[in-house]
Amino acid sequence: MKKITLILIGAILFSIAPLRADEGMWILPLIEKLNNKKLAELGFKISAKDIYDINKSSLKDAIVHFGGGCTGEIISGEGLLLTNHHCGYGVIQRLSTVENDYLQNGFWAMNREQELPSPGLTVTFLESFTDVTNEVVKATAAVENTPEFAKALQAVSDDIIKRAVGDNKYLRGRVSSFYGGNAYYLVVTKTYTDIRFVGAPPSSIGKYGADTDNWMWPRHTGDFSMFRVYADKDNNPAPYSPDNKPYIPKKHLTISLKGVKQGDPAMIIGYPGRTNRFMTSSEVKETSDITNAIVIYVRGIRQEVLMADMEADPKIRLQYSSKYAGSSNYWKKAIGMNETFKKLKVQERRADEEVKFQEWVNANPARKAKYGTALEEIRGAVSNRAEALYLSAYLREALGSIEMLSVAASFTDYAENLAKGNTEEAGKALEFGKRRLSAFYKDYSAPTDRKVAKALIKVFRDKIKGEERPAFYNVIDEKFGGNIDAFVDNLYDNSVFPCEEKFKKALETPEVIANDPAIAIVKTIAPVQMKAMQTLSKENPVLAKGQKAYIAGQLEMKQGQAMYPDANSTMRMTYGQVLNYSPKDAVIYEHITTLKGVMEKEDPNN
């Protein structure tokens, strides 16, 4: 049996430095064709078949999609799962109380009986990954670039999935787009729902460095947590039951304790979320100046409010730890992206690439017919949607981050149906809203949300022109003399949503909910959202058409060069060597970090 040595990045305290990779997020079925030779040259003792094989167990059977947004690894023959601490963070927070604060203090189950059920958590295994491009293209070619395309794509996808999955109730399928819609793959998966929390270190280890070290090197974080997958007596997915047994995997990883040395081959297999590596210069500028800039500004303000309350009250710290972590993770990423765009002159480099691409296109009539307008379409759509994207981003990041308004939005359908006399539909909408709130108040602080609302309603007013603001800003001016703090205090004092007891009391006379002042505010936001969405709905298909042609042209222009598609939450692999890293002149980061660095970073005041 071939020995597999796995280096789990971030899963042990003494972390491994960034790889010098052959780059890429390679699709597993294509590794044999595109990467096998390079793997051998780097010294790997495994082949492409050891990584992905649908006819026998392979590494893909030990790698899982954890919680729908992270990667995990099965590391025992009894379903033990290793993932990052930040991936288990939300689950650990939900299981914690002030009295049993597993997030702050850590937790270890000493036996199976002590493992904690984690409702809502899922673990998904990849069964197969199949190219269905020809079938999709054949079924959609006649309606490409028309409003009927989406319907045709859905129809052929449904047919492909039905034939692949059949009556197997444990399997799920989806057809995913790659290379901007130039390729399609059928992904068949199996999802387990009885997942139990086994252990994690205290946050002082699992989240060591917090925002300061996030997305940075060197890292000294013990970024790991452990769970166990359970199955029924036949090893199939099943809801939680005391009778379920630990899942028996087709394959599990063994962890080497030998350490690493420079030049060792190493790989990462997992589920990267989303990337946009084919972005043009105009899209880079849009991402930097609109999307990232707004995320950085608004989340920075909200996070200051949250952190102040979290530091002052242990209960609020526990309630908002996961929310804060989720917000700050992308906030820090956006900061790093913008710094990298500037440092590496990404926009300028992309502009140079576009000049070369257009010259190549124009040199051949056939290419000009296929790709000649691609860049023009992208630039036009980006320009035409700029104001709508700006407004939409502030609606999402500012007003959309006020928890009470988000909850009230769950009851707008109820209010509208009640007003129209649609009793049956109103009843369904009310039940939907009640389900949404079933677990809401456990992790909600009305005083904290009130402070956030005051800050973010001011942000929106400062950044959005008067005629584009929701009508409730007129109420602030006319009834409260422009005083946002007074308006927010009045809102939170009179709405039933900030108080669980008031909300439950209002359920006795649901008309009270329908006439709540928070719902009235949400109703003024909806037309503003609709206006922005109308522009985006018009321009986004134009952008997608240009992107598809541009990427297809890139693939043709660079024939012979292996090019990987953007991440889209499907399993990928990257590989390279373990080496030191030099981020800038005269600075070298070694390929490992040690406990000494933890002591050097220790800040008793933070």
Q: What is the pTM of this model?
A: 0.90
Distance, in Å, from the CA atom of 36 to the CA atom of 19, rounded to the nearest integer, reads: 18
What is the longest distance spanned by two Cα atoms in the chain?
77
End-to-end Cα, the chain, rounded Å: 49
DSSP strands (E only) in 379-533? none
Give the relative orientation of helices 517-557 and 484-494 as an angle to the nearest 10 degrees. 110
How many C-beta neighbours within 10 Å does residue 591 have?
21
> HSE on the CB side for 327, CA within 13 Å?
24
Q: What is the pLDDT of residue 20?
A: 41
Q: Specify the pLDDT at position 606.
A: 66
**Contacts of range 466-469, beta carbons closer than 8 Å, 24 or more positions apart:** 468/391, 468/528, 469/528
* Residues of the chain scoring pLDDT < 70: 1-23, 606
The token duo for 481 is 């003399």
| Separation between Cα atoms, residue 43 and residue 38, nearest integer Å | 9
Burial 338-349 (b: 16+ CB within 10 A, else e): beebeeeebbee
Query: 24-80 pLDDT, tens per residue?
Result: 799 999 998 888 888 999 999 998 999 999 999 999 999 999 999 999 999 999 999
How far is Cα 43 from Cα 24, in angstroms, rounded to an integer?
A: 18
Strands (E), 255-306: 265-270
C-beta separation of 200 from 152 below 8 A = no
Residue with tokens 């793997």: 39
Residue with tokens 């009539």, as numbered in its chain = 365
- pLDDT computed for residue 23 by the predictor: 66
In the chain, domain spans: 1-122+194-275+572-606, 124-192, 281-555
* Residue 349 tokens, joined: 């480099």
Least Cα distance to 210 among 600, 606, 591, 590 occurs for: 606
Q: What residues have CB less than 8 Å from 362, skipping those under 6 apart?
A: 368, 372
Q: Which of 400, 426, 414, 382 is nearest to 528 (CA)?
A: 400
Buried/exposed code over 532-546 (b: 16+ C-beta within 10 A; e: otherwise): beebbeebebbbbbb
Which SS3 state, helix, strand or coil, does residue 191 take?
Answer: strand
Query: CB neighbours of 98 closer than 8 A, spacing ≥ 6?
Result: 314, 315, 318
What is the reported pLDDT for 537?
96
Tokens of 129: 């990954």
pLDDT tens-digit series, residues 300-309: 999 999 999 9
Amino acid at position 558, single letter: K
